[in-house]
Amino acid sequence: MTIEIRSGYIPQSKRLIENPTADQLRELTARMPNARRTSYDNYNVQTRVDARSTKNTYIVTDRPQEHTAQTVTPEEGRKWAKIQDEYIREQEMVLLDGAIGNDPTFLTPARLIIEARNANVAGMQRHLYYPPQPGQQPEVTMIYTPNLKAPGYPNDRLILVDLEAGITRVFNSDYFGESKMSRRRAGSGCGTRKCTTPADSPCTLAVRSSPSEGRSASS
């Protein structure tokens, strides 16, 4: 028993920007107060969260004995899905479709839905997706609300992973690694299939940090 909402679901929002171009994502990123324009005419975004939130990540399942990771019940998953969907109704969101894998026979359609005020994540994810296949519904979906807190969990941060439904919901994290990890969860199910992704090759994303600052990523 998992969250009833299946992959392909798009929560209602105040405004939805569907599959923006690179220029549109750049424009949205430029509006971010934590985005700094570099001498290379790019944008460096200073994030609040500078690492993956493994301790805040839970599998949604009614079979916890089958998992070594932390789990929550489907009821808990549905509760937070409802909270997130209600929050999204008042937000401007970006929807980005793509594909995981470069073999047409085995690729996995994927979708990222994220707050427009964190468009840098979509801008970086765009480089990791292959072009989407026309007419295909996503098999994996990430619904990302970096500005919605999850009280009751460490640092008010929460990542809910419903493996059966193919949906990951992220609360109160603006770290791009959560989006990339969603892609890897899908890829891990490929087994012996021929599915490689751009992120599996070196030098796909430059990340810079300094001792006095959190991690920052260009977009």
**Is residue 19 one of the residues assigned to a domain?**
yes
> Residue 121: is its pLDDT beyond 50?
yes
Could you read off the pLDDT of 44-98 as tens digits, one per residue?
A: 776 676 656 678 899 999 999 999 989 999 999 999 999 999 999 999 999 999 9
**Is 2 among the domain residues?**
no
In a domain, 9, yes or no: no
Which one, of 198, 15, 187, lies nearest residue 95 by Cα? 15
Q: Nearest Cα to 120, choosing from 197, 189, 215?
A: 215
The domain containing residue 104 runs over which residues?
Answer: 15-218
Q: What is the CATH number of the domain that holds 127?
A: 3.40.449.10
Statement: residue 181 has pLDDT above 90: no
Contact 147, 170 (CB under 8 A): no
Q: Report d(CA 145, CA 188) in Å as an integer.
A: 24
Cβ neighbourhood burial of 206 (10 Å; 0-12, 13-18, 19+): exposed
pLDDT tens digits for range 126-167:
988 889 888 888 989 999 999 999 999 999 999 999 988 889
Please state the domain count of the chain: 1
In this structure, is residue 116 part of a structural domain? yes
Residue 7 lies in a domain: no
Tokens of 70: 């932390």
Q: Is residue 86 part of a domain?
A: yes
